[in-house]
Structure 1
Amino acid sequence: MAVGRTLLFLSMVSALVSPLISPVSTSYTKPCLPGWVLFNDHCYRITPEKLTFNAAEAFCQGFANGNGRGHLASVHDDRENDFIAQLASLTGIGGRHGWVWIGLNDAQKPGEFVWTDGTAGSYRNWSPGEPTAYGEDYVAIRPMDGRWNDGSANKRAVCKMPFGDISSMASLACIN
């Protein structure tokens, strides 16, 4: 009999309390696509192969979400610069000659560097003696020390885009 009363009591409590408790969602969204890494409200990834600067920018623009399109990474402070250098190092890019494209360039007007994503910013982390005026319009970061150099050869690159719900993200780029 005591068991029956206990079950009745628990049923009544459950009936009274259940409407007061909000259901807990077991689903969640990831802010970045697979292969991308979240840092400071942006998703980053390293290109799988070496590309020209323009081909790397086109590759990055092949990714989009509801919050924006990808571009070569713009860098706005030491923390972001260090993050990008570490991300590139973790993908196996390193040493004195391991460089990765970022989105800074002076291709339109020599000496006037702009970001491919159109953001403003005065942060720079040039290697000593850089930039040079040898017709090298595009900027790369060296993962070993986070320093920048203007250059022209094919390199791997770091893409950046605002984070968003991956259910609204589309990958338009072909990845081999």
Structure 2
Amino acid sequence: MSGMLRLVFALYLVCCVATQQNFNCYYEEKFLAKVYRLEYRVEMLEEKASKEDKDYKECMQCPDGWIQYKGSCYMIVEEKLSFDKARANCQKFNADLVHIDNADENTFIRNHLRTLKGIDFWIGLTDAATEGLFKWVDDNSRATFTDWYPSQPDNGGNREDCVHFKAIGNIQWNDRECYSTEKSICEKKIMF
């Protein structure tokens, strides 16, 4: 109950007791009790509507052609591009190459890629600045979660600095020459 309504209710009770109008006080008390219950119901409905609105927004924030998962939208780009061109292409959509934070997100993406069969996809991870120190291109943070294919990363030929999903076996990460052309995965965060 709002503070103002509580004050009005208290004043009515004081007035009823002071004036000894028991008959009128009874009905005024009943009326105010109903108002109190209605106000409580309105508060509950507003809270429920707010939660449903948030759930609705989570479902509706991704543009057509994008896939929603836990606060992000993902888009599979079919055009084969070098790592830098793939990133620039994602940025045209106010996105970046995918930044994979944890095993759940990685599994979600891998499961989706399995349906596409046999294709490699750039992700937004590179060690181009410092060999062996893999950082995400969107925020320059160090990778705390990785899912390397066995014996990777290997910096083959001393020139593999960009990371992609390797579409063999369990679809895991591999380092590759950044000038190679691959399909890519863009990601952008949902804005509320």
TM over 0.5: yes
CA RMSD of aligned residues (A): 2.3
1:132 is the counterpart of 2:154: yes
Q: Is the 8 A contact 2:134 2:143 kept in 1?
A: no
Equivalent AA in structure 1 for residue 144 of structure 2: S
**Shift of residue 40 of structure 1?**
1.0
Q: Is the 8 A contact 1:85 1:142 kept in 2?
A: no
Q: Which has the higher contact order (CA 8 A, sep 6+)?
A: 1
Equivalence for 2:72: 42
1:160 is the counterpart of 2:187: yes
1:57 is the counterpart of 2:109: no
**Shift of residue 120 of structure 1?**
4.4
- Pairs aligned (count): 135
Q: Distance in 1 between matches of 2:137 and 2:81?
A: 16
Equivalence for 2:165: 141
Q: Deviations over 1:34-72 (max 9, x none)?
A: 1101101000011121111000000111112xxxxx110
Give SS of 1:50's match: strand
Structure (1/2) with the larger helix percentage: 2
Q: Is the 8 A contact 1:53 1:101 kept in 2?
A: yes
TM-score (norm 1): 0.68
Q: Is the 8 A contact 1:32 1:163 kept in 2?
A: yes
Q: Deviations over 1:114-147 (max 9, x none)?
A: 0011144410111111111231110001355231
TM-score (norm 2): 0.63
- Given candidates 108, 123, 130, the residue that maps to 2:129 is 108
Structure possessing the higher radius of gyration over alpha carbons: 2
Gaps of 5+ in 2: 1-41, 50-55
Gaps of 5+ in 1: 1-19, 65-69, 166-176
Q: Is the 8 A contact 1:86 1:143 kept in 2?
A: no
Q: Distance in 1 between matches of 2:166 and 2:110?
A: 7
Q: Distance in 1 between matches of 2:100 and 2:78?
A: 20
Q: How does 1:85-124 map to 2 (within 5 A)?
A: 85-90=110-115, 92=116, 94-95=117-118, 98-118=119-139, 119-124=141-146
1:76 is the counterpart of 2:101: yes
Runs of 4+ deviating beyond 3 Å: none
